[in-house]
């Protein structure tokens, strides 16, 4: 089936959204029982962690951990936002740099200024968007980022988005209560799909659409460790307690270029494989054999591939044993933990 489809349904009683592109499952969002990224708390500083420059906080949903704290004392109240999911048994990762994000606009209370996505190159369009921003924001202190989805979008829709996020940021900034509380809940899968999957697509909302459009069949394939590649090659994605291991195999290809071909194909497919499985943290690639002179080309392909992925991933580099390491934000829960 050609084209893009956004499917809004439920899996095991959990709200879920799937993005299908030309009949292939490209992205999947599933709600979890843990606090969602984007949730804003009024938290209470609990105890510092010596040597790490961080502090544990108390929130209504349990302990949180804040890095790089200065001038913060136990018992002090502060506003924080959840940045991702914690590993089992660990505190929620939070930040004091709040972001209020919608389809077209991101309001940044701690970063003043009016900015437009660099992917919008047309000067006339940038001028149009700046006019909209100044009309709505006026002399307001918070900063604003207009997202790439603003390109060609309706002026009223953009203005409404900016106004809503500015109003929310202003309300939160004016909060002066003195007890911990949940102030804003993070967006669920259906809202995230509307917010982040902005390219034109057919939207299907009826119950059971996952089964009708092949999402459930695709999920069965995602649950497997093996990811097939063209030419009989493939790679295995296997999470352990310490890291995610990715093992690349050439399959039946015995040519001299088999290794580099399999590794380049893995570079292209890896972001999608990690995204659908909800995997992050330390990732180690055990690549197929290839000459050292081919490493730069592989790194270039890998960097290009992750540039189109919306989850922060750092390409760390090569190990003495010839493995390649990545560090990926834990923006989602592993699929195995959400669905079992």
Q: What is the pLDDT of residues 192-227, one digit of tens each?
A: 999 999 999 999 999 999 999 999 999 999 999 999
Cα 70 versus chain centre, distance: 28
Q: What is the pLDDT of residues 301-335, one digit of tens each?
A: 999 999 989 999 999 999 999 999 999 999 999 99
Q: Where does 40-96 sit in CATH, by number?
A: 2.40.50.140
Q: Residue 267's closest CA among 221, 332, 313?
A: 313
C-alpha 132/C-alpha 130 separation (Å) is: 5
Q: For residues 323 and 70, which has the higher predicted lDDT (pLDDT)?
A: 323
Once rounded to an integer, what is the mean pLDDT over residues 139-167? 96
Once rounded to an integer, what is the mean pLDDT over residues 148-167? 96
Residue 1 scores a pLDDT above 70: no
Q: Which two tokens stand for residue 5?
A: 């489809």
C-alpha 199/C-alpha 219 separation (Å) is: 23
Once rounded to an integer, what is the mean pLDDT over residues 40-49? 94
Burial annotation 231-265 (CB, 10 A radius, 16+ → b, else e) = eebbbebebeeeebbbbbbbeebeeeebbbbbbbb
Quick one: DSSP state of residue 330? -
Neighbours of 206 (CB within 10 A): 9
Rounded to 10 degrees, the C-alpha dihedral 269/271/272/274 comes to 120
Under a CB-based contact definition with an 8 Å cutoff, are residues 287 and 323 in contact?
Answer: yes
pLDDT at 328: 97
Residue 52 scores a pLDDT above 80: no
C-alpha 231/C-alpha 249 separation (Å) is: 11
Question: Which residues, other chains included, contact 103 with Cβ-Cβ below 8 Å and sequence gap of 6+?
Answer: 147, 149, 157, 161, 194, 195, 198
Architecture field, domain 223-339: 3-Layer(aba) Sandwich (3.40)
C-alpha 137/C-alpha 116 separation (Å) is: 14
Under a CB-based contact definition with an 8 Å cutoff, are residues 60 and 70 in contact?
Answer: no
Q: What is the pLDDT of residues 95-139, one digit of tens each?
A: 999 999 999 999 999 899 999 999 999 999 999 999 999 999 999
Q: What is the pLDDT of residues 248-284, one digit of tens each?
A: 999 888 888 999 999 999 999 999 999 999 999 999 9
Backbone φ and ψ for 50, nearest 5 degrees, come out as -65, 140
Ordered by start, the domain boundaries in the chain are 4-31+195-215, 40-96, 100-176, 223-339
């Amino acid at each position: 089936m050609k084209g893009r489809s956004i499917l809004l349904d439920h899996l095991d009683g959990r709200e879920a959204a799937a993005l299908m592109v030309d009949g292939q499952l490209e992205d999947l969002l599933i709600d979890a029982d843990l606090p969602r990224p984007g949730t804003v708390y009024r938290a209470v500083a609990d105890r510092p962690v010596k040597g790490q420059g961080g502090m544990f906080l108390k929130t209504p949903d349990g302990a949180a951990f804040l890095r790089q704290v200065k001038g913060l004392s136990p018992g002090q109240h502060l506003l924080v936002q959840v940045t991702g999911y914690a590993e089992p048994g660990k505190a929620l990762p939070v930040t004091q740099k709040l972001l209020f994000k919608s389809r077209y606009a991101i309001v940044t209370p701690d970063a003043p200024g009016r900015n437009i996505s660099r992917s919008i190159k047309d000067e006339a369009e940038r001028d149009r968007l700046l006019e909209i921003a100044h009309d709505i924001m006026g002399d307001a202190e918070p900063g604003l980022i207009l997202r790439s989805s603003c390109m060609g979008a309706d002026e009223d829709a953009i203005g409404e988005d900016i106004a809503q996020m500015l109003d929310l940021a202003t309300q939160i900034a004016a909060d002066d209560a003195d007890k911990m509380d949940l102030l804003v809940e993070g967006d669920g899968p259906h809202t995230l799909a509307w917010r982040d999957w902005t390219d034109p697509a057919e939207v299907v909302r009826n119950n059971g659409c996952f089964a009708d459009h092949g999402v459930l069949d695709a999920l069965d394939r995602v649950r497997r460790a093996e990811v097939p590649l063209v030419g009989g090659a493939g790679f295995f994605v296997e999470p352990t307690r310490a890291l995610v291991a990715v093992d690349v195999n050439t399959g039946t290809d015995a040519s001299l270029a088999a290794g580099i071909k399999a590794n380049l194909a893995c570079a292209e497919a890896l972001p999608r494989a990690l995204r659908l499985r909800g995997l992050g943290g330390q990732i180690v690639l055990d690549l197929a054999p290839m000459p050292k002179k081919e490493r730069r080309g592989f790194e270039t392909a890998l960097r290009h591939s992750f540039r189109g992925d919306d989850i922060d991933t750092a390409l760390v580099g090569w190990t003495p044993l010839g493995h390649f390491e990545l560090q990926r934000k834990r923006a989602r829960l592993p699929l195995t933990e959400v669905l079992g």
